[in-house]
Amino acid sequence: MASRLPLFNLTAASLLVVAMPPAVITVSAGENNFSDIHEGKVRRLLKQLNKPAVKSIESPDGDIIDCVPIKKQIAFDHPLLQNHTIQMRPSCHPEGDHAGNAKKNTKPLIQLWHVKGKCPKNTVPIKRTKKEDLLGPTSFESFGKKSQKSIPQTGSNDPFTGHEHSIAFVANDKFYGSKSMVNIWNPFVQLSSEFSLAQTWVRAGDGSDLNTIEAGWQVYPDLYRDFNTRLFVYWTRDGYQKTGCYNHVCPGFVQTNNGVALGGSISPTSIYGGTQYEYTILIWKDKASGNWWLQVQGINVGYWPGTLFTGLADSATRVDWGGEIVNRRTNGKHTSTDMGSGRFAEEGFGKAAYFRNIQIVDGSNTLQPTPGLAAIAEQPNCYDVQLGTAGTSWDSYFYYGGSGLNPNCP
């Protein structure tokens, strides 16, 4: 596949940010005061996000991972979690496993910062937010937040919403979690303001009452200031309007594990026609506590407290798996941002991205297959999805993805 250079230069962009502060919009007598106010807001936000650490680790990719005492993490700044008692481990795990070979040949979760050290017990690794991170997006107030168009819409065919999805889903029932194997890639992203991701959505409600819990991997230059593939989580309780964020950018997700950094780079990633890498993602509701736990590759990372939610305080009514991109359109055309591997579903294993061994957690806390699995590709000429054949060792599975701009995707 021919090499494509993204329309973004991190070094040049960083210099431009320093030379031209985004707060200074017009020249006026009050310009310096306005800039000072902006700088003050940035400093306060950085202090809020970056809690004092007992140890800091410099990752080879430029990240700084702060080992923050578990009781001092930003989650407990949330008003609903002021008197929260940390649940250090789930009271139970989902029973049964219909995932066939999913347990075999399990490989460890590898993040680049691991080569430089590890966080002590009773601390959690938090990716440090830097000043340049906040100055990258259009508004630092929107840093780490999704737009309201980030949820798959059944039957949507509007090419101008920006967000495009190719997903499989189950709906119209009560779901208490999801487990799947997700194929890991490093897709091309053309513009810094675009992203490409693969994730699970566990959701309830709709519109402004939409609750979601999300986890997967993404490439998002505006958020992370590079083109690395990174592990992420997200949540919202009001359809992305005011609540929720990525990782630890706002209070919410409570981390309990000292070896997994949310927002940290994942390595290695799959090779077209070569070695394929995949991780297991399990999300389930601990009915004893009401919390929604996250497990990645067999590691209990932490949980979303049940008190954060309205609809998800009970159960999910729909679960989605698949890919999402943002298309900003340049010169009136679709951009060339990849979804998945950048190849369409028909190319199959080793070439197209996939989810496999897809299961849901039922009301008895048991993993079950997904016989009602359906699929949606909002822009099938740009990115498509193809359900797999039942009865294989992969159980429920699908391929998805595409290259964006092409003769059929103008």
Length of the chain: 410
State the residue for tokens 């290259």: 403
State the residue for tokens 């259009």: 138
Token pair in block for residue 379:
């822009």
3-state secondary structure 147-173: CCCCCCCCCCCCCCCCEEEEEEEEEEE
Q: What is the mean pLDDT of the chain?
A: 88
Backbone φ, ψ for residue 134 (5° rounding): -75, -25
Report the first-to-last Cα separation within the chain, whole angstroms.
Answer: 20
Dihedral angle over CA of 145, 147, 148, 152, nearest 10: -100
Q: Exposed, middle or buried, 287 (CB in 10 Å: 0-12/13-18/19+)?
A: middle
**Cβ–Cβ < 8 Å for 371, 216:** no
Name the pairing type of β-strands 123-127 and 196-204: unpaired
pLDDT digits (tens, 9 = 90+) for 271-322: 999 999 999 999 999 999 999 999 999 999 999 999 999 999 999 999 999 9
Q: How confident is the model at residue 145 (pLDDT cuts 50, 70, 90)?
A: confident
Tell me the three state secondary structure of residue 190. coil
Q: Residue 152, preceding bond cis, omega within 30 degrees?
A: no
**Cβ–Cβ < 8 Å for 193, 13:** no
What H or E segment, with its residue span, contains residue 133? Answer: helix 131-135
Q: Exposed, middle or buried, 303 (CB in 10 Å: 0-12/13-18/19+)?
A: buried
What H or E segment, with its residue span, contains residue 32? Answer: helix 31-49
Backbone φ, ψ for residue 340 (5° rounding): 70, -125
**Cβ–Cβ < 8 Å for 378, 318:** no
Catalytic positions are 214, 324
pLDDT digits (tens, 9 = 90+) for 320-379: 999 999 999 998 999 999 999 999 999 999 999 999 999 999 999 999 999 899 999 999
Backbone φ, ψ for residue 396 (5° rounding): -75, 130
* pLDDT of 10: 43
Closest CA to 378 of 406, 351, 335, 409: 409
Residue 23 has pLDDT above 60, yes or no: no
Mean pLDDT calculated for residue range 51-61? 97
What angle is formed at CA 118 by the lines to CA 113 and CA 120, rounded to 5 degrees?
Answer: 150
Helices (H) and strands (E) in the chain — how many of each? 4, 18
* pLDDT of 100: 43
* pLDDT of 371: 81
Question: Any residues with CB less than 8 A from the CB of 46 and at least 6 apart, and which?
Answer: 129, 130, 131, 134
**Cβ–Cβ < 8 Å for 211, 203:** yes
**Cβ–Cβ < 8 Å for 264, 230:** yes
* pLDDT of 311: 95
Mean pLDDT calculated for residue range 86-114? 80
Question: Any residues with CB less than 8 A from the CB of 389 and at least 6 apart, and which?
Answer: none
Mean pLDDT calculated for residue range 30-48? 74
